Structure 1
Amino acid sequence: MAFVIYGAGAIGGVLGARLHSAGFDVRLIARGEHLAAIRSRGLRVESPEGATTVPVPAYGSPSEAGVSPDDVVVLTMKGQDTPDALEALREVAGPSTPVVCVQNGVANERLALRLFSHVYGVCVMFPAAHVRPGVVQARSAPVPGILDIGRYPAGIDDGARSIAAALTKAGFVSEPREDIMRWKHRKLIMNLGNSVMALCGPGDDSAQQAAALVRAEGEAVLTAAGIDVVDEATDRARRGDILRMPPFDGREPSGSSVQSLLRGTGSIEADYLNGEIVLLARLHGVPAPANELVRQLAVVAARERLAPGSVPAGELLQKLSA
């Protein structure tokens, strides 16, 4: 089984490196300075267990990577980049090419299913970081992440079983699940706080309260939409003590949205996290002002290339509570 990892940032970089080290045929797709650094020096992977450089091949596009009918394409880019990525992929990949969405949010799978018949969702419990070109960090050790997988919209097939087995061989914890989107919606609720942490920074009590408000609103909207979600207790039990994150030298800040602001990419995933709640609220005639506010603020912060923590947490909490 060969894997094309489409988006070699934090998640994709660590995942691709682990699969490559486990003996799988892996090709990364990256861009810009990150691609140039991987090509010239290899991909440096840092973790609590130390650092290693992995000589995994890297390419600039699906056509350059030479996607074949026997490949499994793993999407690991942010949600806002998925539509363009799928358009580039369809130019070289057949409609039955397996597409695996190792991504936060719940919109990527539906986008992929418009173009490809074999689509899989993965619930991403995988603390990782990417801030510097050519470098990714796995924050958890010895297990880097939990990557449960299922067919989209539901079910388990031989493809899901084979991919789960490959992920397990690469050191992840992975189980096939018939109801993967129930788990991904629980993860969506957790990720609603990403924009708050990017805007306000972590640790502040007001920021924690603001994150709790947007998550509670998200829960209410999913209930109004009739979407079945794995409960918090079941999610906590699945995680258990599998993910362990001891400190190590040079550890980058946590949070994918924080890292987007640090890299100054000009974009952020808020439209596909908080924006998912806003969309559902509009479709079902219920309010979602908290998620709409943090979505708008996060998009502006990314567009204006503001640093993480640029919005005072108390000020944001006051606006959310008004």
Structure 2
Amino acid sequence: MKVCIFGAGAIGGFLAAYLSKANNEVSLIARGSNLEAYKEKGIKLYHGDRFVQASPFATNDSQEIGTVDLVFVTVKAPGLLDVGKKIRPLLGIETKVVFAMNGIPWWYGLDSSRENRIAKDILDPSGILHREVASQRIVGCVVDCPAFVDAPGVIISKRNSQGVFTLGLPKFSGNCSLEAISKCMFDAGLQAPVVENFEQAVWNKLIVNLSRSPLAVLTGVNEMELAYDDEITEITKEMILEAAQVADAHGIKLELDWDRLLKPDYRSEHRSSMLQDWDGKRPMEIDAILKVVCLFAKKAGVHSPTMNRVLSLLTMKARAAGIYDG
């Protein structure tokens, strides 16, 4: 399969390394020091006790790649505008676009009335993705693969288990088989289950990100350290309960396993993706992970004081650092 990874950071590099080793024709769209490293030395992935090295074609110009069978978009939400500007040359008649990203997807609610398209208005304000990526191309992907960029071109994932990339379709996309995509990933050594209710998978992951990542940035500590503080744990619990009410307003019933959500025994010393971005003074996924959910709450009449306060603190901190203008 001819595959393009758009956004070759930690997750993009992880995917590219494994897919390249499974006889796929893989290309990368990257930029900056990562792009230079991929061009000169390829990808080096240290995954648990495994080492995977690959040398896919890397560029910042999608026209140099041309049409592909499959695009994985692995940028952070602030990078979506760049995707919209560059994705057209990659799209053939049957090309699917897998958005493997954190938080609420930009296309969430596109089947709703215009005033309810909150995610699209915040995450795709110019409408460029809506124009360039037809609804029948869109595939959702929830990622469970703790990884980080240790140096340009060098990806580390300390967990020994396979990465899990849960696939699903938006409600509005109709019937479309994802088996070919799932098999492509499975053959590369990745877990890629296909779920019928993709929005459920989004919210299951979101309550974890939403209740940990912003607090990690505000405190500067990893996920395990957060769980050892009783007051922080109470804030975490309040955010989860508020988010669960928002999910319920969207027809999603969340089963909350409080031990797994709160106790340090179920956490690692992983620095969340948002905290990694803060460390690197890069734009963070504040909108997709927290702001949109707060707006959903307001629209649904859900009282969400803890989420709102954390959002205010986080946005002020990010604005002061010059990495957020929302």
- TM-score class, shorter-chain normalisation, is 0.7 to 0.9
1:214 is aligned, of 234, 239, 245, to: 239
Residue identity opposite 1:258 in structure 2: L
Q: Secondary structure at the match of 1:87?
A: helix
Alignment of 1:119-158 (within 5 A): 119-143=138-162, 145-153=163-171, 157-158=176-177
Q: How does 1:192-271 map to 2 (within 5 A)?
A: 192=210, 193-200=212-219, 201-202=221-222, 203-204=225-226, 205=229, 206-223=231-248, 225-232=249-256, 253-265=270-282, 267-271=283-287
Q: Is the 8 A contact 1:130 1:137 kept in 2?
A: yes
Counterpart check, 1:178 vs 2:196: yes
2:10 maps to: 10
CA spacing shift, 1:287–1:91, aligned 2, 3 Å: farther
What is the rounded CA distance, in whole Å, between the counterparts of 2:18 and 2:59 in structure 1? 18
Q: Deviations over 1:213-237 (max 9, x none)?
A: 22221112222x233145346xx8x
1:196 Cα deviation from its structure 2 partner = 0.8
How far the C-alpha of 1:52 sits from its partner, in A, is 4.1
Structure 1 residue corresponding to 2:315, chosen from 295, 299, 315: 299
Q: Secondary structure at the match of 1:273?
A: helix
> Structure 1, residues 65-119: CA drift from partner, whole Å, max 9, x if none?
x231x42111111122223312321365357531111111122344555532321
Residue aligning to 1:276: 292
Instruction: Tell me how far apart the structure 2 counterparts of residues 155 and 136 of structure 1 sit (CA, whole Å).
Output: 36
What letter corresponds to residue 260 of structure 1 in structure 2? D
CA RMSD of aligned residues (A): 2.6
Which residue matches 1:290? 306
Q: Which amino acid aligns with 1:49?
A: D
The gaps in structure 2 that reach 5 residues or longer are 109-119, 121-128, 261-265
Aligned residue number for residue 93 of structure 1: 91
Farther-moved stretch of structure 1 (126-135 vs 254-263): 126-135
Over the matched positions of the two proteins, sequence identity in percent amounts to 27
Distance 1:290 1:32 in 2: 37
Secondary structure of residue in 2 paired with 1:108:
coil
Give 1:127 shift.
Answer: 1.3
Q: 2:295 and 2:105 mapped to 1: Cα distance?
A: 11
- CA contact under 8 A between 2:48 and 2:160: conserved in structure 1? yes
Q: TM-score, normalised by structure 2?
A: 0.79
> In the alignment, residue 98 of structure 2 is paired with which amino acid?
V
Matches of 1:141 and 1:190, distance apart in 2? 21
> How far apart, in 1, do the equivalents of 2:169 and 2:233 lie?
34
SS in 1 for 2:91: coil
In the alignment of these two chains, the number of paired residues is 286
Q: Deviations over 1:221-259 (max 9, x none)?
A: 222x233145346xx8xxxxxx998xxxxxx94210111
CA distance in 2, matches of 1:188, 1:21: 31
